[in-house]
Amino acid sequence: MKNMNLARYFVWLLACLLAMPVSAETDSERAERLFEEGYINYQQHYTPRALPKLKEAASLGHVEAAYYAGEIIRQRSVMTQTAIDFYRQAAEGGEVYAMLRLTRKDVFCGTTRECDPDEQERWLEKAEEVALARAKAGDTEAMMELFSVYWSEDNSEAFDWTKRAAENGNAFAQYWLAVGLLDEREMGFYWTDAGRREDIIRWLRASAENGFPKAMEKLAIMLKDQGDFEEAQYWVEKMAKTDYYHAVLNAGALIMMGPDIAEVLMPSLSYEFEKPRPVEGAALLMALHRQTGKEMALGFIDDYRDYMTPEMLEAAKERSKKLLVDTPILYYEPKFGL
C-alpha cells in the first residue's frame, strides 16, 4: 500500500511538472533571436524577409538591428526619414557605422529637408570618440570602424588602423588590407610589384587561415595565376566547405570538371587538378541550387553534361541530399558598404 501511494505521488508530481508553463522568452532574448534571423536573411539577399524581423528587434531596443533596418531601407531607394530614424536609434545606442551614415552630406542633405551640418559634425566627432576608445583598448572591430571614420579625410590614418587590425588577427581587416588597400588602391610603398604581390598573398593567406571565405577564393585565384597550383587546389577544397555562395559555386564547378574545365569553359580557369570528380562537384552544385534557387549552379552542370553519364547524375543527386543541409548560404556583405 505504501509503495502504491508513493507511485501515485510521483505520477501526480510528474503531471504538475508537465503542466507548468515553459519560461517565456524575454524581450532581450526575442530581440537577439529576431536580429540573428534577420541578419542571416540580409546576408542571403532576402531583404523582404529580413526587414520585418530587424524592425521588430529594433522596436525591442536592439541597436544593431536598427542599423541594418536603416541599411535595407536606404539601399532600396534613398535616405528616407524612416531610414534616418533607424540610424538615429542605432547611433544613439553607440553604433559607429550608423553615426557615419548620419554624416553623409551628399546623400543626407540631397534627399531630406532635415539637413543640419552641426548635427552631422557632432556625429562624426562622436563616431571617432567611440571607435577610438575601443580601438585603443584592442578592439579590432573598432579599428576597422576607424578606417571608415578617417577614410575621406586622412587615407594614411585609415590605412594604419586597417593594418593594425590585420596585425591583431581580424580576418576581414586582413582581407581588406590585401584586396582593398594594397591591391585596388595600391597604398603602401614597395620597391617592386613582386614585393607588393607577395604581401597581398601573405595577408590573404592569413585571412583565409582565419576562415574568411572571400579571402580563400581570392587567394586561390592569385595562386593559380602565378602557377602555384598545389596550394591553389588546397584552397579550392576549403572553399567547398564554406557557406559563401561564390566560393561554393566556383569550388563545385572546379571539382566537377577538374582538368576538363580548360576545354569546357576556358584554359585560364584551369587549376590543373589531376582528374575530374563529377559526382562530388555536381552534388555540391545541386545542393547549392536547392539552398538558394540560383540557376547558375545548374548551368555549370549543363555545361558539363556531355561528360557525365545518367548514373553519375543520379549518384550526384543522391549525394546532394546530404550536403549543405541546414546551412544558410551567405554573401558576406560588408557591414559598412555602399
State the DSSP code for 268. Answer: G
Read off the C-alpha cell for 317: 543527386
Note the pLDDT of residue 4.
Answer: 43
Query: Stretch 84-110: mean pLDDT, rounded?
Result: 87
Note the pLDDT of residue 147.
Answer: 95
Note the pLDDT of residue 11.
Answer: 44
Query: Stretch 98-107: mean pLDDT, rounded?
Result: 82
Query: Stretch 17-21: mean pLDDT, rounded?
Result: 46
Identify the weakest region by mean pLDDT among 81-95, 107-121, 181-195: 107-121
pLDDT at 10 over 50: no
Domain ranges of the chain: 27-137, 211-338
Residues 123 and 140: their CA atoms lie apart, in Å, by: 21
Read off the C-alpha cell for 32: 537577439
CA-nearest of 221, 223, 219, 151 to 187 is 151
pTM (predicted TM-score)? 0.89
Note the pLDDT of residue 82.
Answer: 92
pLDDT at 45 over 90: yes
In a 13 Å sphere around the CA of 99, the CA atoms on its Cβ side amount to: 21
CATH match of 27-137 with 2.60.40.1180: no
Query: Stretch 86-99: mean pLDDT, rounded?
Result: 97
CA-nearest of 193, 184, 246 to 215 is 246
pLDDT, mean over the chain: 90
Query: Stretch 256-271: mean pLDDT, rounded?
Result: 96
pLDDT at 332 over 70: yes
Q: Is 322 exposed, middle or buried (0-12, 13-18, 19+ CB in 10 A)?
A: exposed
**Contact assessment for residue 266 and residue 277, using Cβ atoms and an 8 Å cutoff:** no
Note the pLDDT of residue 108.
Answer: 58
CA-nearest of 155, 205, 140, 160 to 178 is 205
Identify the weakest region by mean pLDDT among 15-24, 231-240, 251-260, 326-335: 15-24
Rg (CA), the chain: 25
**Contact assessment for residue 124 and residue 103, using Cβ atoms and an 8 Å cutoff:** yes
| Res. 14 pLDDT band, cuts 50 70 90 | very low
Residues 145 and 128: their CA atoms lie apart, in Å, by: 9
**What does the pLDDT look like over 112-132, one tens digit per residue?**
556 677 778 899 999 999 999
**What does the pLDDT look like over 128-171, one tens digit per residue?**
999 999 999 999 999 999 999 998 887 899 999 999 999 999 99
Treating both helix axes as pointing N-terminal to C-terminal, what angle do 193-209 and 213-225 enclose, rounded to 10 degrees? 140
pLDDT at 308 over 90: yes
CA-nearest of 214, 291, 273 to 247 is 214
CA-nearest of 90, 81, 118 to 103 is 118
**What does the pLDDT look like over 218-244, one tens digit per residue?**
999 999 999 999 999 999 999 999 999
Note the pLDDT of residue 184.
Answer: 83
Note the pLDDT of residue 216.
Answer: 98
CA-nearest of 304, 271, 272, 301 to 286 is 301
Query: Stretch 325-334: mean pLDDT, rounded?
Result: 95
One-letter amino acid for residue 310 of the chain: P
Note the pLDDT of residue 18.
Answer: 47
